Amino acid sequence: MIDHIRGSIVAIVTPMQSDGSLDFPALGKLLQWHIESATNAIVIVGTTGESATLSTEEHCDLVAYCVDKVKGQIPVIAGTGSNNTAEALFLTESAKKHGADAALLVTPYYNRPSQEGLYQHFKAIAEAVDIPQILYNVPGRTACDLQLETVKRLAELENIVAIKDASGDASRGLELIDQCGDKLAIYSGEDSLTLPLMLAGADGTISVTANVAPALMAEMCSLALAGEEAAAKAIDDKLLRLHQDLFLEANPVPVKWALQAMGKIKSGIRLPLVELNSQYHIKVREALAEAGIAV
């Protein structure tokens, strides 16, 4: 069950060929690497997976492939959010049909709905599709902030079991832990805030850094959950540059470049995103080196 997923959850990239077509063999290798590295769960077709530029067919195919490839070894969480409630409903139904363990639903972007509109959007999907659902608040991308009182209302709905908070505001994360932690799993959506929030009671992280350092992120989260603050901090200190430099340009531009430099994927990324500007290559290489990752 999703409410038992704790620790390092990777928001996995979508590998592509140089022409932007999907690279399923590379994805399969990444999934196996995460299983071997003790990653606790996979988020497929989230923000880091370039969901915004995937067709509906590609979106559903990626979820189906991921579920089939991991064969129940770790949970699969499908990104199914949209600013169109009917589309989000369709994608969530598809995720359930293909065997995903849960759905991650971003707040509707661009539309700028009211808090009541957000409540009704998530309520409609929760009541229609019998699959555990994770709220995803990332106001820096969506121009839409899911406020605490609305989260508390949504926490009363049976299918809504967790929230990923990517507000970048540590105080917001602490409020969620304090006021909703008894009803929802709380996941950090900011790698740099993962350790302090987990030490304060968060259940884990939905991580970009875990794409390139899966074993270190899994170990750090395991130590944090065990209350081993000093040991967890020693690992997090090694990862600090990655937490920062994987966002030198819009996610997933830097992390895809890093994985390419590591020999894990090819250089494909879809417009309007382009490859990482060469001025940042040295910084990302240095961040990888600080974490002990060879490139």
- Residues 167, 146: contact at Cβ < 8 Å? no
Q: How would you label 220-244 residue by residue, b for 16+ Cβ within 10 Å and e otherwise?
A: bbbbbbeeeeeebbebbebbbbbbe
Is 183 annotated in the active site?
Answer: no
Q: With helix as H, strand as E and coil as C, how does 245-292 read?
A: HCCCCCCCHHHHHHHHHCCCCCCCCCCCCCCCCHHHHHHHHHHHHHCC
Which is catalytic among the residues 164, 238, 256, 264? Answer: 164
Which is catalytic among the residues 136, 183, 233, 266? Answer: 136
Distance in angstroms between the alpha carbons of the first and the last residue of the chain: 37
Alpha helices in 51-142 (DSSP H): 56-70, 85-97, 115-128, 139-142
Is 280 annotated in the active site?
Answer: no
User: Cα(220)–Cα(233) distance, rounded to whole angstroms?
Assistant: 8
Spacing of C-alpha 197 from chain mean position: 16
> What residues are annotated to the active site?
136, 164
